[in-house]
């Protein structure tokens, strides 16, 4: 992986620092994604788990053709709020390249994030907020609470760009071994708002597990951008090994050119 590619991964990681990798929704959201998909910055403690996040995307083209993509991410979260995300990168067929892993570890106790590249056995470091600092900020009341979602069956409320949104309570169900509460949000863009001849309806169905403090399934039906499903599978509600949240021996720390001083300099050998 090139320095440019690693820098891109780090930039993305900065934007999604939150409950842990893949923590893609918060309860009570109004028609949008919370947590990491929205760049949320809350650190979740006291809810350890490991799981595999599976994302499936389908886009229907005008000529009847379809585009289907599936990706998997292995996730871990410790009781202290530290997280680990493992993504397997498979080079294009015929390139001769072997599959490798990009691993992102967010140590919220030390206040560091590490991005590891198994193909080069190197890693990069950046600073992040610690759990204690985030708790202090919340205690000072710097954050603003989101407006509560309306009760199921309430009249549609105006949204951005003239859209109208409604929310329906779906009750509680077991989802991949955990109890989750569901809600469906429907957003309608009126005809003519974006040059559309007919109204455009987008629905988001979110299932949130209070025990895990995150969504375990989200289904999106979007006629413009395609349909997608994101769900947690193979959920294990126990403390992951502490070794998963440290840089393994044998990795060399590398600097990223053009960094802002957040990245470690030089090429130290060993763990952070």
Mean pLDDT, to the nearest integer, of 187-194? Answer: 90
pTM for this prediction: 0.74
At 28, the pLDDT band (50, 70, 90 cuts) reads very low
Give the pLDDT band of residue 142 (cuts 50, 70, 90): very low
Show the tokens assigned to 155: 């009249």
- Would you tell me how many other CB atoms lie within 10 Å of the CB of residue 254? 20
Among 9, 226, 185, which residue's Cα sits nearest to residue 101?
9
| pLDDT tens-digit map of 60-74 | 888 989 999 999 999
Mean pLDDT confidence for 126-138: 81
Which pLDDT belongs to residue 121? 96
Are the C-beta atoms of residues 219 and 229 closer than 8 Å to each other? yes
| In the predicted structure, residue 271 carries a pLDDT above the cut 90 | no
Res 184 pLDDT > 70:
yes
Tell me, what's the pLDDT at 261?
Answer: 39
Range in 97-101, 148-152, 157-161 with the lowest mean pLDDT = 148-152
pLDDT of residue 148: 43
Q: Residue 95, class by beta-carbon neighbours within 10 Å (0-12 exposed, 13-18 middle, 19+ buried)?
A: exposed
pLDDT tens digits for 222-269? 999 999 999 999 999 999 999 999 999 999 999 765 444 343 334 444
pLDDT of residue 116: 96
Report yes or no: 18 and 43 within 8 Å, Cβ to Cβ.
Answer: yes
Query: Given pLDDT bands bounded at 50, 70 and 90, which one contains residue 96?
Result: confident
For the residues 127-141, what does the mean pLDDT come to?
A: 76
Q: Are 19 and 44 in contact (CB under 8 A)?
A: yes
> And the tokens for 22?
């893949």
């Amino acid at each position: 992986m090139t320095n440019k590619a690693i820098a891109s991964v780090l930039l993305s990681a900065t934007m999604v620092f939150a409950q842990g990798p893949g923590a893609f929704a918060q309860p009570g959201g109004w028609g949008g994604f919370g947590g990491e998909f929205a760049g949320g910055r809350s650190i979740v403690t006291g809810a350890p788990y490991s799981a595999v996040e599976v994302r499936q995307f389908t886009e229907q083209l005008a000529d009847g053709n379809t585009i289907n993509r599936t990706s998997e991410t292995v996730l871990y979260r410790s009781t202290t709020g530290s997280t680990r995300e493992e993504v397997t990168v498979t080079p294009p067929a015929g390139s001769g390249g072997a599959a490798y892993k990009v691993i992102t570890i967010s140590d919220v106790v030390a206040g560091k994030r590490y991005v590891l590249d198994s193909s080069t056995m190197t890693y990069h470091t950046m600073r992040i907020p610690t759990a204690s600092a985030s708790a202090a900020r919340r205690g000072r009341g710097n954050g603003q609470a989101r407006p509560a979602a309306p009760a199921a069956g309430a009249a549609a409320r105006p949204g951005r760009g003239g859209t109208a949104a409604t929310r329906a309570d779906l009750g509680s169900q077991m989802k991949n071994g955990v109890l989750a509460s569901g809600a469906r949000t429907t957003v309608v863009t009126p005809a003519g708002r974006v040059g559309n001849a007919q109204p455009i309806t987008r629905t988001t169905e979110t299932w949130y597990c209070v025990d895990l403090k995150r969504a375990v399934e989200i289904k999106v039906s979007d006629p413009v951008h395609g349909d997608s499903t994101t769900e947690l599978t193979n959920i294990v509600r126990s403390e992951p090994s502490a070794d998963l949240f440290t840089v393994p021996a044998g990795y060399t720390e590398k600097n990223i050119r053009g960094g802002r001083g957040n990245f470690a300099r030089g090429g130290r050998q060993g763990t952070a």
